[in-house]
Amino acid sequence: MIVADLSPGDLQARLRTGLYLRTGPFVSCITSSEPLLAEGIALHYAEHAVETEFADFHVRIARPRNLRRWYRPQVRFYFDDAPSFHPLPADQAFPMLEWGLNWCVTNQAHRYLIIHAAVLQRQGKSLILPAPPGSGKSTLCAGLAHSGWRLLSDELALIDPDTGRVVPVPRPVSLKNRSIEILKAFAPQAVFNPTVSDTIKGDVAHMRAPPDALLRAEESAAPGWIVMPHFEAGAAPQLVEITRARGMMALIENAFNFDLHGRRGFDTLGDFVDQCRCYRYSYGSLADAIDGCNRLADAA
């Protein structure tokens, strides 16, 4: 069964008792009575499997038991029934779920080496985009996902130490501010939820993962390219190859749990980077950015 098989009423009923939702290698038991959350899940997770019993994460989005339950209502994110974030306005329930699920993976899924990076795949190889917020990572990721690249993740690169390959976690791509309209114009076939304003990240909208990403959600990807993107409006594109040592440092600087893996983590990352070519890429438009990444894949 997938989410699309559930009627709106059935979906809301499952959410009240716990919806077991599969995203890549993880199952999350999500509990909530928030209508906007149900709408977001129906839109963005329509093709995701609904499981029945076991869950890696038990999370709940609920209103606090005070006046903010009714007056300027707020919601909180609970992990194993413990509040994990500050409350947010109730209309931010779906973004809160997305941010919360990322938090669950980075804090609990330590069987993987976890890097803060977007990941896509083409020609059988992974493109890792490690970058801090504001670099244009998600915008480039969303554009590539609608330009012949398979989306593995917008936020988290999961490297399996047993195989040295990247494990997909295809979920909605989070876009902010000007990037929302840029992507709507670039990929009119893409599916977005209504923009949520005045979040801690500004205006936020989520783009549904393309169908191919979900159909191939169990296919891991081999090492390929590490590209550090940097958007600067109007800048001429510059794709500069760098040493593998610098590429490895970029992954370490953006890793969530590198220290927990010790020597094995170092060896895993070293072996991974040895099979990659590494670049620094500055550009002034989405079209330029996609063209440069396509040239890398075509050259391979």
pLDDT tens column, 256-265: 999 999 999 9
Tell me which residue range forms the domain holding 47: 3-108
The pLDDT of residue 288 is 92
Q: 293 and 187, same structural domain?
A: yes
Last residue within a domain, chosen from 85, 108, 131? 108
Say if residue 52's pLDDT is above 90: no
Percentage of the chain with pLDDT > 70?
98
Query: Can you give the length of the chain in residues?
Result: 300
Q: What tens digit of pLDDT does each residue of 105-114 get?
A: 999 999 999 9
Last residue within a domain, chosen from 108, 133, 158? 108
Q: 173 and 148, same structural domain?
A: yes
Q: 202 and 265, same structural domain?
A: yes
Alpha helices in 85-226 (DSSP H): 93-108, 137-145, 178-186, 211-215
Q: 176 and 270, same structural domain?
A: yes
Q: 219 and 286, same structural domain?
A: yes
3-state helix, strand, coil in the chain (%, to 5): 35, 35, 30
The pLDDT of residue 225 is 97
Number of domains the chain is built from: 2
**Which among 128, 127, 77, 76 is positioned nearest to 107, based on CA atoms?**
77
The pLDDT of residue 66 is 67
The pLDDT of residue 67 is 59
The pLDDT of residue 60 is 97
Q: 249 and 117, same structural domain?
A: yes
Say how far apart CA 9 and CA 13 lie, in whole Å: 6
Q: 270 and 188, same structural domain?
A: yes
pLDDT band at 149 (very low <50, low <70, confident <90, very high): very high
Q: 241 and 180, same structural domain?
A: yes
Q: 140 and 28, same structural domain?
A: no
Q: 293 and 226, same structural domain?
A: yes
Say if residue 293's pLDDT is above 70: yes
The pLDDT of residue 257 is 96
The pLDDT of residue 199 is 86
Say if residue 68's pLDDT is above 80: no
As a whole number, the mean pLDDT across the chain is 93
